[in-house]
């Protein structure tokens, strides 16, 4: 598989590059960075002390012309630019970008009529199994339990709540027959009054180098149940993204997520 990486000079981009280079079934075909990046021209494997022959570049057209897949963990505006080019070049996409609004998500759905896309807020196998556990738990804690989602990430993360926290909220809301847009509460301040039992609360922590911690709290009278996932490394995200690209080998078009990739649907 000829795989290009977007955001190739960032923390996640470098982990993706390392994962592709270590996989015998994949070839690094491109390493995309933003226009004006001081890293343009560097070898994509320089941070590993390796010479890959692939240079960091901002040439989107050239990258797509020589690739079959793009793995993109950047930001919504950049991902949508890549999405447009991917359709023209018939390049399949694995998208781990978070922070899309509803209109931007609609653009992803429309593009999936032309190219295969795996779009997931979190590519980790563990997180996606956790989502299945949350669906089960929410159905059994539908009444008498208050639900709070607490997430923590590094100081550089630009969106909150995290895409994974929102995905957890959507799974729980779906299991309870609720609309997350209507029942979500994002942080509290001042005199808020008593907690509405139909709401799902979110709290976001930002600090240091935390890769990603997520806890869902089901708080009843006399007991609390906590379901937690903690990431110690970005490797699990990168390995999941590569697995998603492998899944797309058999899917020319369509919009999928990691539940499809892992057979958890």
For the annotated catalytic residues, the residue numbers are 153, 157
CA distance 61 to 250: 25
Please calculate the CA angle 230-236-241 and round it to the nearest 5 degrees.
Answer: 135
Element (H, E) at 102: helix 102-111
Q: And the tokens for 78?
A: 């950049």
CA distance 15 to 43: 15
Residue 247, helix vs strand vs coil: helix
Tell me: cis bond preceding 88? Omega within 30 of 0 counts.
no
CA distance 234 to 202: 23
Task: Identify the residue whose tokens are 């050239």.
Answer: 62
Residue 141, helix vs strand vs coil: coil
């Amino acid at each position: 598989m000829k795989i290009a990486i977007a955001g190739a000079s960032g923390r996640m981009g470098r982990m993706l590059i390392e994962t592709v280079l270590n996989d015998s079934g994949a070839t690094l075909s491109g390493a995309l960075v933003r226009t004006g990046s001081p890293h343009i021209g560097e070898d994509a494997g320089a941070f590993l002390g390796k010479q890959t022959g692939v240079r960091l570049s901002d040439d989107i057209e050239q990258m797509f012309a020589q690739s079959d897949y793009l793995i993109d963990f950047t930001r919504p505006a950049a991902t949508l630019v890549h999405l447009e080019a991917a359709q023209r070049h018939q390049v399949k996409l694995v998208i781990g970008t978070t922070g899309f609004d509803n209109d931007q998500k609609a653009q992803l759905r429309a593009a999936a009529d032309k190219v295969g896309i795996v779009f997931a807020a979190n590519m980790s196998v563990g997180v996606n199994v956790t989502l299945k556990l949350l669906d089960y738990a929410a159905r059994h804690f539908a009444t008498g339990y208050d639900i709070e989602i607490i997430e923590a990430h590094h100081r550089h993360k630009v969106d909150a709540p995290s895409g994974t926290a929102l995905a957890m909220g959507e799974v729980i809301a779906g299991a309870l027959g609720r609309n997350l847009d209507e029942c979500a509460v994002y942080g509290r301040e001042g005199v808020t009054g008593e907690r509405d039992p139909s709401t799902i609360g979110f709290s976001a922590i930002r600090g240091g180098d935390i890769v990603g911690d997520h806890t869902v709290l089901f708080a009843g009278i006399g007991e609390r149940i906590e379901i937690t996932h903690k990431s110690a490394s970005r490797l699990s995200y990168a390995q999941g993204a590569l697995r998603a690209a492998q899944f797309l080998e058999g899917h020319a078009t369509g919009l999928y997520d990691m539940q499809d990739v892992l057979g958890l649907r």
